[in-house]
Amino acid sequence: MPLVKRNIDPRHLCHTALPRGIKNELECVTNISLANIIRQLSSLSKYAEDIFGELFNEAHSFSFRVNSLQERVDRLSVSVTQLDPKEEELSLQDITMRKAFRSSTIQDQQLFDRKTLPIPLQETYDVCEQPPPLNILTPYRDDGKEGLKFYTNPSYFFDLWKEKMLQDTEDKRKEKRKQKQKNLDRPHEPEKVPRAPHDRRREWQKLAQGPELAEDDADLLHKHIEVANGPASHFETRPQTYVDHMDGSYSLSALPFSQMSELLTRAEERVLVRPHEPPPPPPMHGAGDAKPIPTCISSATGLIENRPQSPAAGRTPVFVSPTPPPPPPPLPSALSTSSLRASMTSTPPPPVPPPPPPPATALPAPAVPPPPAPLQIAPGVLHPAPPPIAPPLVQPSPPVARAAPVCETVPVHPLPQGEGQGLPPPPPPPPLPPPGIRPSSPVTVAALAHPPSGLHPTPSTAPGPHVPLMPPSPPSQVIPASEPKRHPSTLPVISDARSVLLEAIRKGIQLRKVEEQREQEAKHERIENDVATILSRRIAVEYSDSEDDSEFDEVDWLE
Amino acid sequence: MAGQEDPVQREIHQDWANREYMRSSPAASRKSSDFLNSFDMSCRSRLATLNEKLTALERRIEYIEARVTKGETLT
């Protein structure tokens, strides 16, 4: 039955009961009909007024919009004419700091709400019979439901439909999951074939890494022989190989914490000899670098001292380890190797290595006539490192003793060069860095390796001409020691300083992700009972592989 | 009879004339209502197109304004 929007009132002009006792019935009927016609006309005029009124209202709202639009166009035309391409600047802040333009995405829905009922229909509706006032009994219900809902419930359609849709989506999701699992299970079998090579690769990798980690001593020996032709003894080389393949820092960090603490305490003890500071434990390289450098300066003429240190550094690793090819990270290797020995292989060999260095240092000193003293200072630098490692093996006393001799030797040599006062300080620098760094944490291990390396690079650059042997070793030290350790720490922290644009884009991505979520949440709260949302969610389930279809929803819903 | 019939006949004739006359007015009102309906329809379609164009224009203006001016800063 079509609903009539507007009724013209008297439908039946002539169908009326005639009053009794009328002489001229025909005339009466005619008159009544004519009157009805006039009523009809009046109703028609109302009808027309309604129509025109509606049209006028709509057009009127349009005129408002047109006027405001006209104003905006005028303003815009002015501002556009004022645009100057020469002065305009493009700032990247537009990407990060400003919201992106978004045109309005209003969608009409729920078009048949009670409020949208036109007035004439509303009038007709009001005339209709109301349902019985069952709501009177609502307060007496136990379940708190509206009494009228059991008589007539218009929201029933939506409720049932929504429930069905949600159920449907759940079912489909489960089905998909099942299918996925099946699909996954099936491909698994064929995939196993390709996986085999993968495993092989791993095996190869293991093989590649294995030698250092797990291979027999014999193999190690062979390797060392190949790698190191130098004077280095085999026991020493062994640890080096460990170090070479494993990062010194990692190996050290791998040490049980107790051992680390032991090392630290020992270092502190050594430090105690000097009334210095364990407190300054700046873990970073900067601190370590800073310390040693000033000490060097104070000790003597910076250049001279630096030179000796650098050669010493270069050579000492050499002594400890096979000279040229094997250890890119000689210093760290020395430290870590010693530590490794201490920790892993508590065997006689470790004690052996420490002794050799002193003689070795002695040897190089004669070899290079000009910087004999520096060389010895250098050993001092190196020694502090080995002693901490050695102590765990035997006793705390030996390291101190060793350190002490070193110190003694140092002063003797520096004296000829210049300042006796400066000499005492030089020994401190070596021990200083380790204690300061160690207390901090395992991370400090990297720092541990660094201070020497940091020391050396600066001198090495300066004394470059110093010794032909030097150049190869110091660079190698610097590169391996500093780089591998720095990378892990610096990479995450430092954003690519290359381009601001990259930063802007990155930020933009952040903003978008987080804000999308926010908007989605807001939307979910706003229109949880939205037909379009429910429908799109149900459809999205069929397309989405992932479990969360929320994004899908939002996309479908926005478009 | 004739005398009696005359007034009746006269009345009937009169009635015929009256009904003839009355027939035209409802037809006229029907015509006018038809016109009103069709007028309503055509006006609505025109208004719809107008609304469409207005909305498009508003959006375009919005867009152009956004191009020319700075976007609002993020909080």
* pLDDT of A358 higher than 90: no
Mutation target among A87, A97, A507, A511 for the B interface, most CBs of B within 10 A: A97
Contact B47 A33 (CB under 8 A): no
Contact B29 A99 (CB under 8 A): no
3-state secondary structure A340-406: HHHHCCCCCCCCCCCCCHHHHHHCHHHHCCCCHHHHHHHHHHHCCCHHHHHHHHCCCHHHHHHHHHH
The larger pLDDT score, comparing residue A4 to residue A471, is at A4
Contact A62 B58 (CB under 8 A): no
Let me know: does A376 contact A289? Beta carbons within 8 Å.
no
**Which residue numbers of B have CB closer than 8 Å to A's CBs?**
11-12, 14-15, 18-19, 22, 25-26, 29, 32-33, 36-37, 39-40, 43-44, 47, 50-51, 54, 57-59, 61-74
Residue percentage of chain A with pLDDT more than 70? 40
Burial of residue A433 (number of CB atoms within 10 Å: 0-12, 13-18, 19+): buried
Burial of residue A192 (number of CB atoms within 10 Å: 0-12, 13-18, 19+): exposed
Contact A37 B29 (CB under 8 A): yes
Based on its alpha-carbon atoms, the radius of gyration of chain A, rounded to whole angstroms, reads 45
Q: What share of chain B is helix, strand, coil (3-state, %, to 5)?
A: 90, 0, 10
Contacts of B40 in chain A (CB under 8 A): 51, 54-55
Q: How far apart are CA A439 and CA A433, in angstroms?
A: 10
The larger pLDDT score, comparing residue A201 to residue A2, is at A2
* Residue A238, token pair as written in the block: 């062994």
Contact A48 B44 (CB under 8 A): no
A91 reaches B (C-beta below 8 A): no
Contact A99 B59 (CB under 8 A): no
A48 reaches B (C-beta below 8 A): yes
Q: How far apart are CA A260 and CA A442, in angstroms?
A: 8
A272 reaches B (C-beta below 8 A): no
Q: How far apart are CA A484 and CA B74, in angstroms?
A: 40
B18: confidence class by pLDDT, cuts 50, 70, 90:
confident
A76 reaches B (C-beta below 8 A): yes
Which segment of A170-174, A466-470, B7-11 scores lowest on mean pLDDT? Answer: A466-470
Q: What is the pLDDT of residue A371?
A: 43
Contact B14 A76 (CB under 8 A): no
Contacts of B49 in chain A (CB under 8 A): none
For A143-169, b where at least 16 C-beta lie within 10 A, e where not — what string?
eeeebbeeeeeeeeeeeeebeeeeeeb
Give residue for tokens 């502190």. Answer: A268
User: How many C-beta atoms surround the C-beta of residue A490 within 10 A?
Assistant: 10
* Residue (of A141, A118, A439, A393) closest to A267 by Cα position: A439
Contacts of A80 in chain B (CB under 8 A): 64, 68
Mutation target among A5, A40, A96 for the B interface, most CBs of B within 10 A: A40
- Chain A residue with minimal CA distance to B31? A44
For A19-53, b where at least 16 C-beta lie within 10 A, e where not — what string?
eeeeeeebeebbebbbebbeebbebbeebbebbee
Q: How far apart are CA A169 and CA A162, in angstroms?
A: 11
User: How many C-beta atoms surround the C-beta of residue A387 within 10 A?
Assistant: 26
A44, A59, A511: residue with CB nearest B29? A44
Give residue-wise pLDDT tens across range A253-289.
444 555 555 555 555 444 444 444 444 444 444 444 4
Give residue-wise pLDDT tens across range A224-255.
444 444 444 444 444 444 444 444 444 444 44
Based on its alpha-carbon atoms, the radius of gyration of chain B, rounded to whole angstroms, reads 32
Q: What is the pLDDT of residue A204?
A: 60
Contacts of B12 in chain A (CB under 8 A): 26
A11 reaches B (C-beta below 8 A): no
| Mean per-residue pLDDT over chain A, rounded | 61
Element (H, E) at A233: none
Contact A30 B19 (CB under 8 A): yes
Q: What is the pLDDT of residue A540?
A: 83
Find residue A462's DSSP bridge partners. Answer: none
B19: confidence class by pLDDT, cuts 50, 70, 90:
confident
Contacts of A59 in chain B (CB under 8 A): 47
* pLDDT of A427 higher than 70: no
A15: confidence class by pLDDT, cuts 50, 70, 90:
confident
Give residue-wise pLDDT tens across range A22-76.
777 788 888 888 888 888 888 888 888 989 999 999 999 999 999 999 999 999 9
Give residue-wise pLDDT tens across range A82-137.
888 888 787 777 777 777 787 788 888 888 989 999 888 898 899 999 999 999 99
Q: How near does any CA of chain B get to the CA of A303, in Å?
A: 55
Residues whose CB falls within 8 Å of the CB of residue A460, separated by 6 or more in sequence, listed in order: A310, A313, A314, A470, A471, A474, A475, A478
Q: What is the pLDDT of residue A232?
A: 43
Q: Quick one: CA dihedral A305, A307, A310, A316, positive or negative?
A: negative
- Chain A residue with minimal CA distance to B36? A48
Q: How far apart are CA A55 and CA B47, in angstroms?
A: 8
Q: What is the pLDDT of residue B43?
A: 92
A103 reaches B (C-beta below 8 A): yes
A201: confidence class by pLDDT, cuts 50, 70, 90:
low
Q: What is the pLDDT of residue A280?
A: 44
Q: What is the pLDDT of residue A526?
A: 57
Q: How far apart are CA A44 and CA B30, in angstroms?
A: 9
At residue B73, φ and ψ (nearest 5 deg) are -75, 150
A1: confidence class by pLDDT, cuts 50, 70, 90:
low
Which alpha helices (H) appear in A369-499, and where do they start and end?
372-382, 386-393, 397-412, 414-417, 433-440, 444-455, 457-461, 473-477, 483-493
Mutation target among A50, A73, A101, A511 for the B interface, most CBs of B within 10 A: A101
Q: How far apart are CA A184 and CA A167, in angstroms?
A: 25
Residues of A (487-546) whose Cβ lies below 8 Å from B: 511
* pLDDT of A343 higher than 70: no
Burial of residue A120 (number of CB atoms within 10 Å: 0-12, 13-18, 19+): middle
Q: Report the largest interatomic distance among the alpha carbons of chain B, rounded to a whole angstrom.
A: 103
Average pLDDT over every residue of A206-225 = 49
Give residue-wise pLDDT tens across range B31-70.
888 898 899 999 999 999 999 999 999 998 888 888 887 7
Per DSSP, chain A holds a count of helices (H) and strands (E) of: 26, 0
With H, G, I as helix, E, B as strand and everything else as coil, classify residue A536: helix
User: How many C-beta atoms surround the C-beta of residue A455 within 10 A?
Assistant: 28
A416: confidence class by pLDDT, cuts 50, 70, 90:
very low
A24, A76, A511: residue with CB nearest B68? A76
Q: How far apart are CA A172 and CA A541, in angstroms?
A: 7
The number of C-beta contacts closer than 8 angstroms across A and B is 96
- Tell whether ipTM is more than 0.90: no
Find residue B73's DSSP bridge partners. Answer: A98
DSSP A153: -
- Chain A residue with minimal CA distance to B20? A30
Q: What is the pLDDT of residue A362?
A: 41
A24, A69, A511: residue with CB nearest B11? A24
Helices A444-455, A433-440: inter-axial angle, 10-degree rounding: 160
Q: Quick one: CA dihedral A225, A228, A230, A231, positive or negative?
A: negative
A37 reaches B (C-beta below 8 A): yes
User: How many C-beta atoms surround the C-beta of residue A410 within 10 A?
Assistant: 26
Q: How near does any CA of chain A get to the CA of B3, in Å?
A: 17
* Residue (of A290, A362, A273) closest to A319 by Cα position: A362
Task: Tell me the DSSP string of A539-551.
Answer: HHHHH--SS--HH
CA atoms in the 13 A half-sphere facing the CB of A104 = 11
Q: How near does any CA of chain B get to the CA of A257, in Å?
A: 46
- Chain A residue with minimal CA distance to B75? A97
Give residue-wise pLDDT tens across range A394-407.
444 444 444 444 44
B11, B36, B43: residue with CB nearest A26? B11
Q: How near does any CA of chain B get to the CA of A525, in Å?
A: 22
Contacts of A51 in chain B (CB under 8 A): 36-37, 39-40
Which segment of A267-281, A449-463, A536-550 scores lowest on mean pLDDT? Answer: A449-463
A26, A98, A103: residue with CB nearest B71? A98
A533: confidence class by pLDDT, cuts 50, 70, 90:
confident
